[in-house]
Amino acid sequence: MLMELLVFLCFMLHSYDIWCQYHVNLYTRVAKTFRTKIADLIKSRIRGAIPKMHINNHVVACKALYSFNHLPYSGETWGKNIKGGWAEQNQTAGSTKEMYEGHQHNTLDTFFDYWNKRKLHQISECPYSVIEPSNTLY
């Protein structure tokens, strides 16, 4: 049990709307970008899933393979909150596009730090009626 948990901690879990298509060429892109040892390690540790908001639009095979409900140790997500910051993130583009790289990086880092803290506080305010039961199978 403990060994299984330690092995799991080394995995990277990606949530993407079209993971079923994206992961097909992901491994060749990783191999081109990284050295062989690092690429092999990354390829063996990547797992992916399709968010619940998008999984209903996929075929049955995608639902069976890439649903968070069937992925061990993945937990539950509140999908509406994940995409909630895009409007504010888009507003930063106007003020950061003219900055030098270092200043732009610091500004965006500060913005995302603020947004992550804000999401953390919003999760505690989430009403239980919004959260769907996790025993629903797709």
How many other CB atoms sit within 10 Å of the CB of residue 19? 22
Measured CA to CA, the distance from residue 69 to residue 76 in angstroms comes to 8
pLDDT digits (tens, 9 = 90+) for 67-90: 888 877 676 666 556 666 677 778
Which has the closest alpha carbon to 4: 74, 73, 64? 73
Which has the closest alpha carbon to 1: 75, 74, 72? 72
pLDDT of residue 94: 83
Per DSSP, which regions of 1-138 are E strands?
12-15, 46-49
pLDDT digits (tens, 9 = 90+) for 10-56: 677 778 888 888 888 888 888 888 777 777 777 777 888 888 778 88
Average pLDDT over residues 3-8: 50
Residue 106: which pLDDT band, with cuts at 50, 70 and 90?
A: very high
Place of tokens 């050295």: 35
Q: Which residue has the higher pLDDT, 40 or 129?
A: 40
**pTM for the model:** 0.54
pLDDT of residue 28: 85
On whether the CB atoms of residues 50 and 42 are closer than 8 A, the answer is: no
**Looking at 2-6, 8-12, 121-125, which range is the least confident one?**
2-6
